[in-house]
Amino acid sequence: MKISEIYQYVVTRGMERDPRGSEAVTRQLSQAKKQYDDLKEDEKKDFDTDRLSNPYSDTRVLYGDPETEVRRMLVGIDIEVGEVLLADRLGDKGSKIDLIMSHHPEGKALAALYDVMHLQEDILAQFGVPINVAEGIMVSRINEVKRGLLPINHNRAVDVARILGIPLMSAHTVADNQVTSYLQELMDKEKPDTLGDILKILKKIPEYAEAAKYNTGPTIVVGSKSRRAGKILVDMTGGTGGSEDAYGKLSQAGVGTLLVMHIGEKHRKEAEKNHVNVIIAGHMASDSLGMNLLLDGLEEKGVEIVPCSGLTRHKRIS
């Protein structure tokens, strides 16, 4: 496959599994087109035209010719300077890497991470929080994340990839959409009664079962195994953690349990204060599950996957 084909594939799959639904995705792309069309000609040069066909600002080709043919791809949860050097070293040892794929964004994809957080507004609305309230509680958190990203050395790994001539891309929300939809559908189907039942379901999934061996498996951080789960919200997409103010609104909307990748202590305390149970499924395990659901399709198309940097590879293809 060409890099352009891999990029289009992951974006398409991300849109297919977007928990907001196709109408919300189409609306976002239409808004981007209108914004572009309304710009003056001298302003259009600064517009990221990928936004016209890709609604996820944290998924981008960061370096490389889109027409490059890819036979072998190094894939990791985090790709930093060390992993780029690993790709170069593998080439010296006779296993040439044609493309590096990072899950967590780097470069311009990292700088624009805050933009995908608007996705969380629609998810909150789907679970009973009025959209005006959802947008209101997210705006300050989105701006906080945006400011926090400003001083970061975004292009460090991208620069090394460019110097070594190894193409690099990121696939963030497109993969997080996979794991979110996968687990939400599983919870809706299985209807676990207690938090303990949720843990049992998760530990049947290979990525979480393996994580448990390394003491990083699913963990209850608010509640107990005997607590009843109630309505379960899988909260694993939309860039990064949302607003602390969301927990009170979710509790009022009838959400009983949050199933998340990770949670900060301030957010955990807010959930506890509002009597919302929280299970941390595991960060690397959840990211691995989301990436694996994407990578299976690429492997079926003939791309060899070399996992690294926290990616636990489990195939769901024969």
Q: Residue 58: give the domain boundaries.
A: 3-175+286-308
Name the residue with tokens 């989105």.
142
pLDDT of residue 204: 97
* Domain presence at residue 167: yes
Residues 157 and 228 in one domain: no
- Which pLDDT does position 40 carry in this prediction? 94
255 and 296, same domain (yes or no): no
- 44 shares a domain with 33: yes
Neighbouring C-alpha atoms within 13 Å toward the C-beta of 55: 25
Q: What's the residue count for the chain?
A: 318
189 and 142 together in one domain = no
At 317, is the pLDDT very low, low, confident or very high (cuts 50, 70, 90)? confident
At position 49, the amino acid (one-letter code) is T
* Average pLDDT score, the chain: 97
Instruction: Say whether pLDDT at 186 is over 80.
Output: yes
Q: How far apart are CA 50 and CA 133, in angstroms?
A: 30
Q: Is residue 200 part of a domain?
A: yes
Backbone φ and ψ of 304, nearest 5°: -80, 130
The CATH number that applies at residue 300 is 3.40.1390.30
What is the per-residue pLDDT for 131? 96
Residue 219 pLDDT > 90: yes
Which contiguous run of DSSP H or E holds residue 258?
strand 255-260
In a domain, 113, yes or no: yes
| 103 and 238 share one domain | no
CA distance 105 to 195: 32
At 40-65, the pLDDT tens digits run 999 999 999 999 999 999 999 999 99
Same domain for 104 and 229? no
Calculate what percentage of the chain has a pLDDT beyond 70: 100
pLDDT tens for each residue of 106-118: 999 999 999 999 9
How many structural domains is the chain composed of? 2
pLDDT at 246 > cutoff 90: yes
The stretches of the chain forming alpha helices (DSSP H) are 3-16, 22-37, 41-44, 81-92, 107-111, 119-126, 131-149, 156-164, 173-190, 195-202, 206-213, 246-252, 265-273, 283-300
Answer yes or no: is pLDDT of 223 > 90: yes
**Predicted confidence (pLDDT) per residue in 256-287, tens digit:** 999 999 999 999 999 999 999 999 999 999 99
Strand duo 99-102 + 168-170: pairing = parallel
Would you state the pLDDT for residue 310?
97
Task: Report the b/e string of 217-246 with b at 16+ CB within 10 A.
Answer: bbebbbbeeebebeebbbbbbbbbbbbbeb
Report the alpha-carbon distance of residue 234 to residue 30 in Å, rounded.
27
**253 and 303 together in one domain:** no
Sequence-separated (6 or more) residues with CB below 8 Å from residue 162: 63
Distances (CA, A) of 103 to 117, 147, 267: 16, 22, 24
Question: Which pLDDT value is given to residue 119?
Answer: 96
Q: How many CB atoms lie within 10 A of CB 111?
A: 18
Give the per-residue pLDDT at 113.
96
Reported confidence tier of residue 188, pLDDT bands at 50, 70, 90: very high
- In a domain, residue 316? The reply is no
Task: Give domain status of residue 313, yes or no.
Answer: no
Shared-domain flag, residues 142 and 67: yes
At 37 the pLDDT is 96
* Helical ranges in 150-264 per DSSP H: 156-164, 173-190, 195-202, 206-213, 246-252
Same-domain status, 121 and 141? yes
- Measured CA to CA, the distance from residue 226 to residue 193 in angstroms comes to 9
Let me know whether 125 and 223 are in one domain: no
10 and 95, same domain (yes or no): yes
